[in-house]
């Protein structure tokens, strides 16, 4: 058996093992190229026939596989985080609108004061909806609030002496 066939047989076996643990889309040729480059960078040479070929290829493939799996998991977590923020932005706008309607009726406020709220109001709404642990990890409405402020849905009117006293206005979009 020549080196090319032996090399491909080993890589095919290693790819089969890798593909059982990787849930992304990685064709064999692309994976093989990554393993080959990593092998050359790690060992400073092209794969050579010998007793250590399987062992060294396995090491290179494991390094590449672990990195690919870790990157894929991070991408999935990031995508889930983005989906969660996007869903919460809509919820938060709805809660703020309801809060402002109630405040407007109760206090008989005219525009623009009827559209204003504080960051502390947002935190109060957040504590009503999410458990304490979620709020402490900033996984409630904080990221959604920040996104909405960046997008201009919430406009900072006045910076308070402390963050809970910052005054924002809901902008009609």
Higher pLDDT pick, 130 / 31: 31
- Residues 69 and 21: beta-carbon distance below 8 Å: yes
State the pTM of this model.
0.59
- C-beta atoms surrounding 151 within 10 Å: 11
Q: What is the DSSP letter of 85?
A: H
Lowest average pLDDT, out of 2-11, 34-43, 78-87, 95-104, goes to 2-11
Tokens encoding 159: 């910076």
Spatial distance between the Cα atoms of 145 and 24, rounded to a whole number of angstroms: 32
Average confidence (pLDDT) over 139-160: 84
């Amino acid at each position: 058996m020549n080196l090319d066939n032996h090399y491909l047989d080993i890589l095919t076996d290693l790819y089969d093992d890798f593909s059982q643990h990787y849930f992304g889309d990685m064709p064999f040729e692309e994976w093989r190229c990554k393993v080959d480059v990593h092998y050359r960078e790690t060992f400073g040479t092209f794969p050579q026939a010998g007793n250590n070929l399987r062992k060294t290829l396995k090491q290179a493939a494991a390094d590449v596989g672990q990195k690919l799996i870790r990157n894929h998991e991070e991408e999935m977590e990031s995508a889930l985080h983005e989906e969660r923020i996007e869903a919460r932005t809509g919820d938060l706008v709805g809660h703020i609108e309801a809060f402002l309607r109630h405040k407007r009726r109760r206090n008989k406020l005219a525009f623009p004061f009827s559209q204003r709220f504080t960051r502390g109001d947002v935190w109060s709404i957040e504590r009503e909806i999410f458990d304490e642990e979620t709020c402490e990890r900033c996984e409630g409405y904080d990221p959604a609030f920040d996104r909405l402020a960046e997008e201009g849905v919430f406009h900072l009117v006045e910076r308070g002496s402390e963050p809970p006293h910052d005054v924002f206005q809901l902008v009609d979009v």
